[in-house]
Amino acid sequence: MDFTNLIPKDAKPSRVGIIGATKGYGYTLLAQLRKVPLLSLRVISSRHEDECRQVLEELGWEPSSIVACADKAQIDAAPADAVLIVTDYRLVPECGITSLVECTGNTAVSTDAALTALNKGINVYMVSKETDSICGPLLNQVAAQNGAVYALVNGDQPRNLVDLYSWARFIGLDVIAAGKASEYDFIYDPETQEFSYLDYKEQLPALGDCWAYEGTDTLKARRALLEQHTDVISADLCEMNLVSNITGFVPAAPTMNYPIAKVSELAEIFVPEEDGGILKRTGVVDVFFHLHRPDEASFAGGEFVIVRCDNDTVWQLLAEKGHVVSRSGKYACLYEPWHYMGVETVASIVLGDQLGIGTHTECRQVSVLTGVAKWDIPAGTTLQVAGHHHMIDGLRPELTTLSEAPEDVAPFYLLNGAVVTRDIRKGEFVSLGAVELRSKETLGYYLEGLKV
């Protein structure tokens, strides 16, 4: 797509509000937003006013242009070109914005903010994947009903993967699997025999014995050596949940397959078992751990699709040009080794506000992210989402189709702050009847979305 002539020359800049703006993803978005003429920051919201002001000044906004507002009257009195700071997120839709970006990861806050904005006709760009995993179907429908846009954002894997999938379908390719790399790489130097993962390092000569791919036995050997580093990560499954709900693809396995693989091997691995791969069915989402040498580039948690090759001459030519095609010639892997966080998100806002691109009315709760007890959990326990990967201590995340899940299963991220009301046995799904939820409103939105 040629972006240079995509937007009309007389397009008016969007007025953007961001909730959860000062750290991580929100920071990268703020930094990039200043560089895009079609975007104008109107308001940011965080519980920490001083931190907001510090970040804005650090990124180049003039101190005199920043105005803190405590209520609607102060917002109305503020200069039209000021950048506002509000500590109450509920004030953000009152600031004259055309678009809202939600980055908090707090499902109750983000659902409330998104629904309020959409019902006012304000476009919503959802960074908080936890919220979309629960309420995505409903939010897409509310957007359509109000002539607004609800969109996942480029810069995070779900939107990037949906875009890659849709592009492949757009040009006539038959996609059988879609997925991503987990966030951090397995790095091995065959010459020094050193293996590293994050801060962990060890000499591991045996990994050299299964360095070259010789079929699924190679995957089993790698897994046996590196099992301690292969946790199931709820953030990964959550992202595949979002893709599943839009594309209709189903989980390849409840905890994903997570093969330890090089990019060059993906078209051998994510294919049906009868063709030497690991898939028990096609039309699936999955995740892998990226294995590479120290001098090779990372996949950077990027995205891939596997397609069928229906013309031997075409795909042999593409293989000769260096594209990833299976040895059998039946399958190929198309991939994008990136997700640039807020640096990319600006494109989603412009495309949504100017061209109406984003809302997926076909979004349904195809799959549901659930929690399974890793040990007996006694009544009275408070479940808490914590850590970089947004896990819940004591629960193993599983992604299952809604039709295969227990009827009253509780979505994983609804459980943040929930109190267990009866003993939950090891291996049991957490049901809605086994917990007292902190956010009954969000539960209601989830149940309403099931009717879509």
pLDDT of 309 strictly over 90:
yes
pLDDT at position 410, please? 97
Structural tokens at position 62: 């003039």
Provide, rounded to the nearest whole percent, the portion of the chain with pLDDT above 70.
100
Exposure class string for 112-134: b at 16+ Cβ within 10 A, else e: bbbbbbbeeebbbbbbbbbbbbb
pLDDT of 145 strictly over 90:
yes
pLDDT of 12 strictly over 90:
yes
Query: Are residue 350 and residue 295 in the same domain, yes or no?
Result: no
Query: Are residue 314 and residue 349 in the same domain, yes or no?
Result: no
Question: What domain range is 432 assigned to?
Answer: 367-449
Q: Residues 306, 271: contact at Cβ < 8 Å?
A: yes
pTM exceeds 0.75 for this model:
yes
Q: How is the chain split among helix, strand and coil, in percent rounded to 5?
A: 35, 25, 40
Residue 101's pLDDT band, with cuts at 50, 70 and 90, is very high
Query: Are residue 126 and residue 215 in the same domain, yes or no?
Result: no
Cα–Cα dist 242/249, whole Å: 10
pLDDT of 191 strictly over 90:
yes
pLDDT of 303 strictly over 90:
yes
User: Is there a domain that residue 285 lies in?
Assistant: yes
Query: Are residue 181 and residue 101 in the same domain, yes or no?
Result: no
pLDDT at position 4, please? 85
Between 22 and 423, whose confidence is greater? 423
Query: Are residue 270 and residue 187 in the same domain, yes or no?
Result: yes
Question: HSE (CB half, 13 Å, CA atoms) of 400?
Answer: 17
User: Is there a domain that residue 362 lies in?
Assistant: no
pLDDT at position 67, please? 98
Q: Residues 397, 256: contact at Cβ < 8 Å?
A: no
pLDDT at position 439, please? 85
User: Is there a domain that residue 360 lies in?
Assistant: no
Q: Tokens 């949906």 sit at which residue?
A: 162
pLDDT at position 23, please? 85
Domain count, the chain: 3
Average pLDDT over residues 369-375: 97
Residue 36's pLDDT band, with cuts at 50, 70 and 90, is very high
Query: Are residue 84 and residue 228 in the same domain, yes or no?
Result: no
Q: In this structure, what CATH number is given to the domain that contains residue 408?
A: 3.90.1210.10
**37: three-class secondary structure by DSSP:** coil
Strands (E), 108-240: 123-126, 150-152, 175-181, 186-189, 194-197, 200-203
pLDDT of 408 strictly over 90:
yes
pLDDT of 228 strictly over 90:
yes
Looking at 320, 355, 390, the residue that finishes a domain is 355
Query: Are residue 284 and residue 173 in the same domain, yes or no?
Result: yes
* C-alpha 239 chain-centroid distance: 4
Rg value, the chain, Cα: 23
pLDDT of 389 strictly over 90:
no
Element (H, E) at 311: none
User: Is there a domain that residue 361 lies in?
Assistant: no
pLDDT of 1 strictly over 90:
no
Looking at 355, 386, 406, the residue that finishes a domain is 355
pLDDT at position 58, please? 96
Query: Are residue 174 and residue 321 in the same domain, yes or no?
Result: yes
pLDDT at position 43, please? 98
User: Is there a domain that residue 203 lies in?
Assistant: yes
Average pLDDT over residues 7-27: 92
Residue 387's pLDDT band, with cuts at 50, 70 and 90, is confident
Q: Residues 286, 270: contact at Cβ < 8 Å?
A: yes
pLDDT at position 147, please? 98
Average pLDDT over residues 195-207: 97
pLDDT at position 80, please? 95
pLDDT at position 90, please? 97
Average pLDDT over residues 42-68: 96
User: Is there a domain that residue 268 lies in?
Assistant: yes
Q: Which amino acid type is present at position 255?
A: T
Mean pLDDT of the chain, nearest integer: 96
Angle between the 107-119 and 440-449 helix axes, to the nearest 10 degrees? 60
Query: Are residue 202 and residue 310 in the same domain, yes or no?
Result: yes
Provide, rounded to the nearest whole percent, the portion of the chain with pLDDT above 90.
94
Average pLDDT over residues 146-171: 98
Average pLDDT over residues 141-150: 98
Residue 21's pLDDT band, with cuts at 50, 70 and 90, is confident
Report which of 339, 354, 353 is spatially closest to residue 298, judged by C-alpha positions.
339
Cα–Cα dist 270/288, whole Å: 10
User: Is there a domain that residue 283 lies in?
Assistant: yes
pLDDT at position 438, please? 86
Query: Are residue 180 and residue 35 in the same domain, yes or no?
Result: no
Query: Are residue 327 and residue 438 in the same domain, yes or no?
Result: no
Query: Are residue 109 and residue 228 in the same domain, yes or no?
Result: no
- Ramachandran region of residue 387, left (φ > 0), alpha (ψ -120 to 50) or beta? left
Residue 348's pLDDT band, with cuts at 50, 70 and 90, is very high
Q: In this structure, what CATH number is given to the domain that contains residue 12?
A: 3.40.50.720
pLDDT of 53 strictly over 90:
yes
